[in-house]
């Protein structure tokens, strides 16, 4: 018996065709995704990389129909390798815990598809069912928790929105001698410009971070950061707002242009994860083997 198609497991992207007057699905896709050339789409169709809702390969001349659902596989020609290597800290029938190095994206995004933590782990473990239960941004190093079993996935996914998981980070940044620690910083975060940067705005707080000082070393301090919420770039924005942007941050407080400098990683580490296992009640605790040097 064949396995039913599941685009999430096979890392396909999905598009629902918008309203328009196109003749074929190829015409629609070319117009909708202007960054992908017609020849590239034709190549994908010829290799069976564009599928219908049931997972069957479709032809480029298939007539366009509004609302049609298609699955396609993202590809980046000449994708640049990322010269870092992840470590698997734990693997069982339900969970995989990986130590992600700086600069490696968790999931395919932008110019990165194959050189992502998810794709690497799928290949290493030969498990297409892997799904990240949370994410840390590309510049941050440390722990990422994956579900390896669709049957138990929802139980572990609920840990995060229900705030039943203890996440602790470390960061290296400038001293804040005029502030009293530990302190709690709350603010409202929204997407800014460019779209991938966050900013603090007026309004009801939707983000909260507990910060404490772990170690002092001259003109640098090591901070312990515990995010109560999980907004994009939350710790980076909050530290910058406090007056101590995290060392080597290319986004905050100022956006820096240029390619990655592997000698100057962001000094932010997802250091530990702790929770009560939702299936067994067992206390689980994982700690990164990575560290932030001064």
Among residues 72, 96, 120, the one where a domain terminates is: 72
Q: What is the pTM of this model?
A: 0.78
CB 11 within 8 A of CB 118: yes
Q: Do 159 and 276 sit in the same domain of this protein?
A: yes
Whether residue 46 is found in the same domain as residue 109: no
Helix (H), strand (E) at residue 185: strand 183-191
Task: Describe the chain by its helix, strand, coil percentages, rounded to 5.
Answer: 15, 30, 55
100 with 231, same domain: the answer is yes
Mark whether 44 and 159 lie in a shared domain.
no
b/e sequence 61-89, b meaning 16+ C-beta within 10 Å: ebebeeebebbbbbeeeeeeebeeebeee
Contacts of 273 (CB under 8 A, 6+ apart): 97, 143, 145, 165, 166, 167, 168, 284, 285, 286
What's the pLDDT score for residue 8?
41
Q: What is the pLDDT along the chain (294 residues), one digit of tens a residue?
A: 333 344 444 466 788 998 899 999 999 999 988 777 898 899 889 888 899 988 888 999 999 999 999 988 776 667 788 999 999 999 999 999 999 999 999 987 767 777 899 989 988 999 988 999 999 999 999 999 999 999 999 999 999 999 999 999 999 999 999 999 999 999 999 999 888 899 999 999 999 999 999 999 999 999 999 999 999 999 999 999 999 999 999 999 999 988 899 999 999 999 999 999 999 999 999 999 999 998
Asked, as a colleague might, if the bond just before 194 is cis with ω within 30 of 0, I would say yes
Residue pair 289/89 in contact (Cβ under 8 Å)? The answer is: yes
Instruction: Read off the CATH number of the domain in which 174 is found.
Output: 3.30.2350.10
The CATH number of the domain where 27 resides is what?
3.10.290
Residue 47 lies in a domain: yes
- Does a structural domain hold residue 5? no
Cβ burial 189-224 (10 Å sphere, 16+ → b, else e): beeeeeeeebebeeeeeebbbebebeeeeeebbbbb
Last residue within a domain, chosen from 45, 72, 99: 72
What are the residues facing 185 on neighbouring strands? 209
Are residue 277 and residue 162 in the same domain, yes or no?
A: yes
Q: Which domain holds residue 22?
A: 13-72
- Indicate whether 125 belongs to any domain: yes
Statement to judge: residues 229 and 123 lie in one domain: yes
33 with 161, same domain: the answer is no
In a domain, 82, yes or no: no
For residue 242, the 8-state DSSP code is H
| In contact, 246 and 205? CB cutoff 8 Å | no
Same-domain check for residues 239 and 118: yes
Instruction: For residues 132 and 278, state if they share a domain.
Output: yes
Residue 3 lies in a domain: no
Cis ω on the peptide bond leading into residue 182 (within 30° of 0)? Answer: yes
Domain count, the chain: 2
Same domain assignment for residues 132 and 22: no
Residue 292 resides in a domain: no
Question: Pairing between strand 268-276 and 141-147?
Answer: parallel
């Amino acid at each position: 018996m064949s396995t039913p198609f599941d685009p999430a497991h096979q890392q396909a992207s999905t598009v629902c065709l918008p309203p328009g007057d196109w003749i074929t699905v190829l015409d629609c896709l070319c117009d909708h995704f202007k960054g992908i050339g017609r020849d590239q789409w034709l190549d994908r169709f010829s290799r069976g990389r564009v599928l219908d809702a049931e997972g069957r390969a479709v032809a480029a001349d298939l007539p366009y129909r509004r609302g049609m659902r298609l699955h396609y596989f993202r590809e980046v020609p000449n994708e640049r390798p990322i010269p870092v290597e992840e470590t698997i800290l734990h693997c069982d029938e339900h969970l995989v815990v990986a130590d992600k190095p700086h600069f490696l994206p968790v999931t395919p995004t932008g110019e990165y598809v194959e050189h992502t933590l998810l794709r690497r782990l799928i290949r290493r473990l030969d498990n297409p069912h892997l799904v990240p239960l949370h994410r840390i941004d590309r510049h941050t190093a440390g722990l990422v928790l994956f579900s390896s079993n669709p049957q138990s996935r929802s139980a572990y996914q609920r840990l995060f929105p229900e705030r039943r998981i203890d996440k602790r980070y470390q960061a290296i940044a400038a001293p804040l001698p005029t502030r009293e620690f530990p302190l709690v910083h709350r603010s409202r975060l929204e997407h800014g410009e460019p779209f991938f940067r966050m900013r603090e705005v007026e309004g009801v707080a939707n983000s909260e971070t507990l910060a404490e000082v772990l170690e002092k070393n001259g003109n640098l301090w090591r901070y312990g950061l515990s995010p109560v919420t999980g907004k994009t770039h939350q710790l980076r924005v909050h530290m910058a707002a406090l007056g101590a942007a995290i060392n080597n941050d290319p986004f905050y407080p100022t956006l820096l242009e240029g390619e990655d400098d592997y000698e100057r990683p962001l000094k932010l580490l997802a250091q530990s994860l702790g929770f009560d296992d939702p299936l067994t009640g067992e206390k689980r605790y994982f700690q990164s083997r990575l560290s932030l040097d001064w």
